[in-house]
């Protein structure tokens, strides 16, 4: 099988020739740029600065030579704009606070201060910084720029500021990107624009110069709880805009895309869900269903839902909402036992992730512990398809190279044993 055929088989719950692997296919299945540099060194690839493809989390681009070395089956088309509102183009060098020389967008404008690095939205130094990378940190934190709110008179338009028809620049970007991967043999993954529906990483709008509306994290969650009618009306407007843009995207690149990352809104904590099933079914489910139904009726794309945490109780609703794939499969959260997940839900949804614990085992375990956990997860999740190997969320900075290599080699070992 080609990589594309292998991954499509797994997502369609057919047994592929071997377990498909994704690293770097999206901003939630990536690897920190410092770890990417170490992997390039380990595999003796051409030494060059790593491109920071997603600056908010400082994720490094997995280029073709490293994909080959790692056995990766996916290739991304990242959105035209980063989470800081500028495109990745005309790369320039930048030295990180931890001493790594990387490549960043020419629009990457920062101030390096005593307490860390501050970045400007859309590369505009005339605006207030929208995120902060602490002096001893490895990724940016959004700066909440919440203005005064009249909670009794919220304005939908304020929280629709970043939503609108696909721009000419975005269309041109897609017309450039699609031919690059057409016929590549890899499974193409992309993030859809405007379908996030309350993703808390996007609520503070680090890509806007002066965001209006409900932009504080606490304020957003309180609004969901106290004014679900406002949130539902907001999501309805966002979905209307998104469906128009999906039609434009499909006309340009519909035959190229395999996997569409619809939404990264988290519904789980370590112990429970953020909201009740009743709230999910009232506020989110019908809007997700409209998006997924349109995609399934008009494209060959498979739809991907990211949500961390203890979300086993919501899995039936996510399936009914039309999602084909769930990520990152946080097996360490309450009620997320891998055997239970496979037994109860493995015939109806694909688990994309869950391959190794990135909170404990991968960063702090031994290579032997990593190998053991990876082999166990593969043995549980892989039979009958419905599994794409990835770690549980992004591989973080300071993760030992020998542990990442042990993870990759364990997948190879599993594939060799089942070939």
* List of residues 6+ apart from 261 with CB closer than 8 A: 26, 28, 189, 190, 191, 192, 304, 306
Task: Answer yes or no: is 375 within a domain.
Answer: yes
pLDDT in tens, 374-397: 999 999 999 999 999 999 999 999
Q: Rounded CA gap, 252 and 171, in Å?
A: 8
Alpha-carbon span 239 to 313, nearest angstrom: 25
Looking at the predicted structure, is the pLDDT value of residue 156 above 60?
yes
Tokens of 99: 């001493």
Which residues, other chains included, contact 224 with Cβ-Cβ below 8 Å and sequence gap of 6+?
Answer: 198, 231, 275, 279, 283
* Structural domain total, the chain: 1
Q: For 268-303, how does the pLDDT look when each residue is reduced to its tens digit (9 = 90+)?
A: 999 999 999 999 999 999 999 999 999 999 999 999
The verdict on residue 276 lying in a domain is yes
- Going by C-beta distance under 8 Å and a sequence separation of 6 or more, which residues neighbour residue 221? 274
Domain span at residue 394? 3-48+67-84+146-418
Asked if 197 contacts 288 with a C-beta cutoff of 8 angstroms, the reply is yes
CATH number at residue 341: 3.20.20.210
**pLDDT tens digit sequence for 193-239:** 999 999 999 999 999 999 999 999 999 999 999 999 999 999 999 99
Q: What share of the chain is helix, strand, coil (3-state, %, to 5)?
A: 40, 15, 45
Distance CA 384, CA 372 (A): 21
376 belongs to a structural domain: yes
Q: How many beta carbons lie within 10 A of that of residue 304, not counting itself?
A: 28
- 58's CB contacts (< 8 A; 6+ apart) are 32, 33, 34, 52, 96, 133, 138, 139, 140, 397
Mean pLDDT of 5-10: 98
Q: Check: CB of residue 350 under 8 Å from CB of residue 7.
A: no
Structure tokens at 410: 């364990």
* Strand 131-134 to 187-191 pairing: unpaired
Q: Does residue 293 sit within a domain?
A: yes
Please check whether residue 404 lies inside any domain of the structure: yes
Of residues 186, 323, 335, 171, the one with CA closest to residue 250: 171
Stated length of the chain: 419
**Residue 140 within any structural domain of the chain:** no
Tell me the mean pLDDT in the region 301-329.
98
pLDDT digits (tens, 9 = 90+) for 335-372: 999 999 999 999 999 999 999 999 999 999 999 999 99
Instruction: Using DSSP, state whether 216 is helix, strand or coil.
Output: coil
| C-alpha R_g of the chain | 21
Cβ pair 39, 70 in contact under 8 A: yes
For residue 208, what pLDDT is reported? Answer: 98
Q: What integer pLDDT is reported at residue 418 of this predicted model? A: 67
Those residues whose C-beta lies under 8 Å from the C-beta of residue 104, and which sit 6 or more positions away, are 52, 55, 91, 92, 93, 94
In a domain, 117, yes or no: no
Q: Tell which wins on pLDDT, 96 or 418.
A: 96
- Per-residue pLDDT band at 419 (split at 50, 70, 90): low
Residue 369 lies in a domain: yes
Please report which helix (H) or strand (E) contains residue 60, including its range: strand 59-60
Distance CA 367, CA 346 (A): 28
pLDDT given at position 417: 74
Parallel, antiparallel, or unpaired for β 141-142 and 187-191? Answer: unpaired
In angstroms, the CA 111 to CA 119 distance is 7
* Average pLDDT, integer, range 239-245: 98
Mean pLDDT of the chain: 97
């Amino acid at each position: 099988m080609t990589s594309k055929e292998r991954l499509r088989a797994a997502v369609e719950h057919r047994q592929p020739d071997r377990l498909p692997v994704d690293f770097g296919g999206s901003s939630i299945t990536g690897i920190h740029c410092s770890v990417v540099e170490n992997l390039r060194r380990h595999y003796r690839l051409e030494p060059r600065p790593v491109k920071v493809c997603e600056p908010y989390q400082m994720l490094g681009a997995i280029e073709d030579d490293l994909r080959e070395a790692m056995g990766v089956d996916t290739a991304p088309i990242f959105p035209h704009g980063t989470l800081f509102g500028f495109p990745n183009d005309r790369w320039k060098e930048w030295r990180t606070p931890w001493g790594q020389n990387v490549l960043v967008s020419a629009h990457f404008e920062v101030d390096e201060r005593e307490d860390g690095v501050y970045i400007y939205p859309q590369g505009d130094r005339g605006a207030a910084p929208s995120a902060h990378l602490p002096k001893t940190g490895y990724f940016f934190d959004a700066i909440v720029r919440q203005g005064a709110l009249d909670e009794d008179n919220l304005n939908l338009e304020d929280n629709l500021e970043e939503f609108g028809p696909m721009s000419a620049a975005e269309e041109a970007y897609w017309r450039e990107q699609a031919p690059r991967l057409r016929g590549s043999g890899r499974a193409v993954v992309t993030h859809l624009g405007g379908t996030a529906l309350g993703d808390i990483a996007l609520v503070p709008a680090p890509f806007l110069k002066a965001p209006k509306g409900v932009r504080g994290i606490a304020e957003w969650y309180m609004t969901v709880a106290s004014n679900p009618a406002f949130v539902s009306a907001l999501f309805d407007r966002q979905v209307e805009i998104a469906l128009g843009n999906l039609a434009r995207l499909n006309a340009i690149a519909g035959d190229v895309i395999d996997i569409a990352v619809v939404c990264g809104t988290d519904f789980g904590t370590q112990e429970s869900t953020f909201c009740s099933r009743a709230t999910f079914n009232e506020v989110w489910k019908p809007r997700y269903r409209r998006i997924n139904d349109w995609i399934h009726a008009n494209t060959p794309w498979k739809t991907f839902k990211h949500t961390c945490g203890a979300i086993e109780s919501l899995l039936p609703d996510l399936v009914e909402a039309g999602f084909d794939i769930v990520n990152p499969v946080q097996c360490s959260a309450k009620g997320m036992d891998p055997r239970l997940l496979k037994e109860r839900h493995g015939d109806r949804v694909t688990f994309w992730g869950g391959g190794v614990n990135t909170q404990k085992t991968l960063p702090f375990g031994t290579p032997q512990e990593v190998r053991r956990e990876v082999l166990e997860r593969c043995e549980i999740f892989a039979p009958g398809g419905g599994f794409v190997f990835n770690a549980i969320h992004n591989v973080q900075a300071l993760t030992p190279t020998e542990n990442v290599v042990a993870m990759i080699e364990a997948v190879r070992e599993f594939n060799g044993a089942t070939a």
